[in-house]
Amino acid sequence: MLGKEAALFVTSGTQGNAVAILSHTNRGDEIILERNSHIYLNEVGGLAVMGSLMARTIEGEMGWIKPEDIRASVRGDNIHHAPTSLLCVENTHNTSGGIPLTVDQMKADWDVAKEHGLGVHLDGARVFNAAIALGVDVKELTQYADTVQICLSKGLSAPIGSMVVGPENLIKKARKYRKMLGGGRRQVGIIAAPGIVALTKMVDRLVNDHANAKRLAEGLSEINGIKILNPVKTNMVYIDLSDLGWTGIEWTEACAKLGWKSRGTTSRLRLVTHYGIEMEDIEAFLQGIAELVPKV
């Protein structure tokens, strides 16, 4: 499906990214990441703790690192500098609003990475969402990465698990690091089996999640005080409640009154549509929220 030689089951996306990065790098290397990427922000500093790696972060444009910025960030051959060895890309890009990077964007970054002899790792936790949104075969995106991590347990709806794919030599290294991190298990079949269902039955239905997210954003934008922060391309809607005067906690409480789980602490929060949420649920939710919001 992804056009790679070998694959490895891991227990989580974070573990998958970790073993892939370790397989590409040596201690003391520097890796290039988008400043708001999941690997940099939300994976507990694992690249520094486990890999003794430096992070060179770049501000992206809707999650995409421009090739000229990558080129400018690659360290030259200088004894004073940590050598650059890896570029990490995220598609879809979570904090930008679930934005899919296009095939052309992926290729542009791949080309400049290979120009400088860098490995490329794709945090493709939601790469199937990207492929569905762009109307392309997922291989058109994954061809521009040496290794790819995909989550089976997000939009594809498996209860647990991720995969790391890539060339045989890197996956062999990744298997060793998975064992080191406690991810090797004799009972893997019972948790990996749902992943087969995820990959064979749950990809095409992602289009429903995207349609539901667009309707959710459309409906919320009609409520005074709720601002939509990103163009809705896949299954994520980021909102800002500042003009409403609500905190994330007040939003959480309002959703709970309607029988919905939604977690927020600040006035800026993320809503994600997924399997089990249908269009009629979205309509009922929008009606309920509209009734709970103070009338201006």
DSSP per-residue string spanning 156-207: T--SS-EEEEE-HHHHHHHHHHHHHTT---TTHHHHHHHHHHHHHHSSTTHH
Cite the DSSP H helix spans in the chain: 13-24, 38-41, 46-49, 67-73, 103-115, 127-134, 138-142, 168-180, 188-201, 206-221, 248-257, 279-292
* Residue 241 DSSP SS3: coil
Instruction: Please give the average per-residue pLDDT across 140-154, as a whole number.
Output: 98
- Give all domains of the chain, ordered by start, each with its CATH number: 6-201 (3.40.640.10), 206-292 (3.90.1150.10)
User: What pLDDT does residue 289 have?
Assistant: 95
* Residue 61 DSSP symbol: B
Name the pLDDT band for 294 (thresholds 50, 70, 90). confident
**147 pLDDT higher than 80:** yes
Which residue is listed with tokens 């998958």? Answer: 16
* Residue 249 DSSP SS3: helix
Instruction: Please give the average per-residue pLDDT across 74-95, as a whole number.
Output: 96
User: What pLDDT does residue 173 have?
Assistant: 98
Instruction: Please give the average per-residue pLDDT across 41-64, as a whole number.
Output: 97
Give residue-wise pLDDT tens across range 161-187. Answer: 999 999 999 999 999 999 999 999 888
Instruction: Please give the average per-residue pLDDT across 273-281, as a whole number.
Output: 97
First to last CA, the chain: 51
pTM of the model: 0.96
By percentage, how much of the chain surpasses pLDDT 90?
A: 96
